[in-house]
Amino acid sequence: MKIAASDYDGTLFRNEVIAKADVEGIRRWRAAGNKFGVVTGRDYGMLAPQLKFYGIESDYAVCNNGGLICRADGTPLWQGEIPHRTLAEMVKEPGVRRSFHFAFSAADTTYLYHEREGSWISREAKQWDFTIKTITEQDIMSLPQIHQFSLGYPEASEAAEVGEILNARYGDVIHAYPNRCSLDVTPKGISKEQGIRKMLELMGWDCAEICTIGDEINDLPMIEAFHGFTVDTARDAIKARAQKAYAGVGAMLEANI
């Protein structure tokens, strides 16, 4: 049995669609007795409706860059934690204040405030029918366990710049991952590699062969740890650190089945 782990945005979901070839590749991979799951920066609630819409069945989900691990039906198995005091301090940072939104991810709810023009959170919530709960800054200290804090910017360079600032100031407790124009802040030690390893432990799949594929900086931990792959639309900097670039997720699965 082999385990495939695919990034979502920019890898499986490209140009606002999941290609039929990728859907079919996943079906054939699983029919051969292998496992497939998405390893994403998204909340589970933002991922599941889209997979259902495109007819993709999976065996697990590693969400929020490794911060949340779920069964195929969304049942949480494990989640990380960012201290509430750290969250309350980070929202006061000037670079953070420039974000389109502040999104706080709990196991079953996305909490949102500071949303302004340019944000995609509420738009996607309406389009894909997932629930978000609006809060104020005063509510941060009373939130449930939070495993990711997500920001959004007009340019990828700004997301990367703010990420460097947060890592320098709060790197003892968090790590900020730029992902195109998004910036995902997770607990220190959390990554897509760590999420996959924890998922394998929880599911009892420790001895399986792993095939990973992704397209961005936050995918590099799992690409490099498992000698993984990328897609041909990825930047050259990502391709240089992957074993091979494929036309899509389906093509990678077919080649490694």
- Same structural domain, 124 and 75: no
Whether residue 149 sits in one domain with residue 123: yes
DSSP SS3 for 198: helix
Q: What pLDDT, in 10s, does the model give residues 182-207?
A: 999 999 999 999 999 999 999 999 88
Looking at residue 84, its amino acid is H
Range of the domain at 228: 2-79+191-256
Residues 144 and 122 in one domain: yes
- Give the model's pLDDT for residue 131: 86
Give the pLDDT confidence score for residue 169 in this predicted structure. Answer: 98
Give residue 207's pLDDT. 86
Domain shared by 74 and 169, yes or no: no
Exposure b/e, 116-133, CB count within 10 A at least 16 = b: eeebebeebbeeeebebe
Residue where a domain stops, chosen among 161, 187, 213: 187
Count of C-beta atoms within a 10 Å radius of residue 161: 16
Q: For a pLDDT cut of 70, what percent of the chain falls above it? A: 100
Same domain membership, residue 203 and residue 160: no
Which of 127, 160, 187 is the endpoint of a domain? 187
Final residue of a structural domain among 131, 153, 187: 187
Cα(80)–Cα(92) distance, integer angstroms = 23
Residues 211 and 241 in one domain: yes
42 and 93 co-located in one domain: no
Quote the number of domains for the chain: 2
pLDDT tens profile 127-185: 998 889 999 999 999 999 999 999 999 999 999 999 999 999 999 999 999 988 999 99
Return the number of other C-beta atoms located less than 10 Å from residue 82's C-beta: 25
What's the mean pLDDT when you consider all of the chain? 97
Same domain, 94 and 108: yes
- Indicate yes or no: pTM above 0.75: yes
pLDDT, position 21: 98
* Same domain membership, residue 217 and residue 200: yes
**Residue 142: partners with Cβ closer than 8 Å, 6 or more residues away:** none
